[in-house]
A and B are shown apart, each in its own frame.
Chain A
Amino acid sequence: MHKKITKRDVKRNLTWYSFILVTLVALIVLVYFPTFKTFYFSTTNMGTFGTDYEMIGLRNYKTLLSSASFLKALGNTMLLALYGLLTIPLGFLLANAINGLGRTKLQGFFRVMFYMPNIITGVSVVLIFQYVLKGNGGLLNQFFSQIIGREVTIGWITDPSMSHVGATIIWIWMNLGYSMLLNLASLQSIPTEIYDAASVDGATALKRMIYITIPQMKSCFAFLFVTGMINGLARFTDLYILGGNACAGRPNGTLQTILMYIYQYSFESPRYGLSSAGAVILFFIVFVMTIFNVKLSGFMKGGD
């Protein structure tokens, strides 16, 4: 029964471990250890680095969950992430139209051009959209003014009641291409025989869409749903810059996300204990989402 460990086995193991060792050490030191520390900090009243602190149990969580500003940030983040999911149906429609062109050069052109905004989602896009969404003379308002023949001055990112719309416009602009691309890849992987059989049976285009295409796209939608939620929950850069490089989430806190809240209490007015508790809450939300991802879409690849 007892399996003898030979010298060769040891050598083989050592060789393979030499491939993964650096990465494993980095994972322990730079990922797992700090993550546990976040959990630990979240149970302390740590202020800034180097000051004394003690364990205070779950009091930080209590503070957060009864704090109107944290709940508002949590709500904003959830809502904005949900609105951002509009990219899924829009991307699906776009992908269908592009797919309808057949595998031509034109299809390739549209595929690439619609995807392009996704590449430049850096700071420059935010700078540009500052002026697109500007209340006074912004591009979008100029456009609406032309249409209705009257000056329009909607503060897409300055009016608290419109700011979610403005923020969603930017998000869709940045992410539509990605959704289109994955939808298109998924559409094109549906075996054509299914459609052939259906047209023999005389199914209309609409029926084919409802009974064949959409069920076949389920794993793609699930993947986009979960990744979209995860990315949306971690939203920071664009809203931080739109708010004038501040975490307050101007206007009136309507654009403050969880991450901005955490940043505010980590680097603007440090209360590490509190911001760690916020980070743990973010962790749990993303954790649950990822479990969904694994269950729903068969790990990472949309099930294919």
Chain B
Amino acid sequence: MEKKKLTKAKRRRLLTAVILAAILAVILIPLWWAITLSFDANAITELPAFSWLPKEASMKNYKYATEMIDLVRYYTNTLFVALVNTAISVFFALLCGYAFAKGRFFGKKFWYFFMLAVMMIPFESRMIPLYLQYSSWGMINTYWPLILGNVAYVYGIFFASQNISALPDSLRESACLDGAGEWKIFFRIILPLCKPVMAALSILQIVAQWNSYLWPMVVIRSSKKQLLSVGVSLFNAQENSIYYGPRMAVAVLSAVPLIIAFLCMQKYIVQSVAVSGIKQ
């Protein structure tokens, strides 16, 4: 009796797993197909029928794609901007998070609300004046407009302050008694304890930065400085509906770093999204 019940539960679990695998296959097939197309020598002027593997495998599409657009430059630019922005946004988020979690100062509540209220203002609704402002500072076509705003990463501040306020006060108090100032406490005690928060926010930021599109398109004009996302979409718009293979080669090349990074750090990424609810 007992045994039979067990196998029934097991069988149901197996069935669930099979169904889930089938759904997953449907979801991932477009990605697989894109990879196949990108290696298919025939996918230039016509779209080949679906096949699991390219009918005539070659690197032609990749060669063509890398000749058409300066992927290496776009990569370097994107990597540079993404890393700088991530470092800045996470660092300042932790600074503010610490002040709001443990600090005692005049106007703290007001400033906290002042900061969080920004979540209600969609970035796009201040885009025009912001663009004009940067252009009057002569910063259009530089990376400054992409970088400066990151000192106010509001979601990060909220997440950091929640996490830091959960740290026990006793750590700070004993350091205070030893005569350490707040900055010293921040660097010596708080930062090391915040490694998980840092990791979570950094991951979310890198992905967001890698995928950002509208604002870079608005402020970066020269193709030498352009980022991967915009550069790739420009390539897409250049040709009229042909060059299937090369386009898929570009799509694959621009997605691969993210996929690799994701698979390496999947545990942390999934955890940080699930815990914070921050999408990007």
Please determine whether chains A and B interact with each other in the same assembly. Answer: yes
Q: Which residues of A contact B (CB under 8 A)?
A: 12-13, 15-20, 22-24, 26-27, 30-31, 33-35, 37-38, 41, 49, 94, 97-98, 100-102, 106, 110-132, 134, 136-139, 142-143, 173, 176, 178, 181-182, 184-185, 223, 227, 230-231, 233-234, 236-237, 241, 244-245, 259, 262-263, 266-267, 272, 275-276, 279-280, 282-283, 286-287, 290-291, 300-302
Chain B positions within 8 Å of A237 at CB level: 213-214, 229
Question: B121 near A30 (CB under 8 angstroms)?
Answer: no
Q: Is B76 an interface residue (CB 8 A)?
A: no
Question: B157 near A276 (CB under 8 angstroms)?
Answer: no
Query: Hey, what's the 0/1 contact readout for B136-171 against A, CB within 8 Å counting as 1?
Result: 000000000000110110000110000000000000
Q: What is the chain A residue whose CB lies nearest that of B213?
A: A237
Q: Is B179 an interface residue (CB 8 A)?
A: no
Question: CB within 8 Å of A: which of B26-83?
Answer: 27-31, 33-34, 37, 46-47, 49-50
Q: Is B96 an interface residue (CB 8 A)?
A: yes
- Closest Cβ–Cβ distance, residue B118 to chain A (whole Å): 5
Q: Contacts A178-B279, A182-B277, A301-B277 known; A22 to B151 CB distance under 8 Å? A: yes
- Closest Cβ–Cβ distance, residue A67 to chain B (whole Å): 18
Question: A283 near B125 (CB under 8 angstroms)?
Answer: yes
Complex: how many Å from CA A131 to CA B38? 12
Question: A27 near B128 (CB under 8 angstroms)?
Answer: no
Query: Hey, what's the 0/1 contact readout for B242-272 against A, CB within 8 Å counting as 1?
Result: 0010011011101100110010001101100
Q: What is the chain A residue whose CB lies nearest that of B135?
A: A49
User: Interface size on B (CB < 8 Å)?
Assistant: 95
Question: A38 near B148 (CB under 8 angstroms)?
Answer: no
Chain B positions within 8 Å of A98 at CB level: 20
Which of A37, A136, A259, A302 has a CB less than 8 Å from the CB of B277? A302
Chain B positions within 8 Å of A227 at CB level: 277, 279
Q: What is the chain B residue whose CB lies nearest that of A289?
A: B120
Question: A134 near B47 (CB under 8 angstroms)?
Answer: yes
By CB atoms of chain B within 10 A, which of A31, A41, A102 has the most?
A31
Q: A31-B149, A126-B236 are in contact. List 7 more A-B contacts (CB 8 A).
A: A16-B99, A20-B100, A38-B126, A38-B129, A112-B266, A120-B255, A233-B122
Complex: how many Å from CA A40 to CA B269? 41
Which of A12, A26, A35, A241 has a CB less than 8 Å from the CB of B151? A26
Complex: how many Å from CA A142 to CA B47? 11
Question: B92 near A119 (CB under 8 angstroms)?
Answer: no
Chain B positions within 8 Å of A236 at CB level: 124, 213-214
Q: What is the chain A residue whose CB lies nearest that of B155?
A: A300
Q: What is the chain A residue whose CB lies nearest that of B230?
A: A123
Q: Is B115 an interface residue (CB 8 A)?
A: yes
Chain A positions within 8 Å of B183 at CB level: 15, 18
Q: Contacts A20-B96, A245-B233 known; A31 to B279 CB distance under 8 Å? A: no
The 3 closest A-B pairs by CB, nearest first: A37-B129, A124-B251, A16-B105
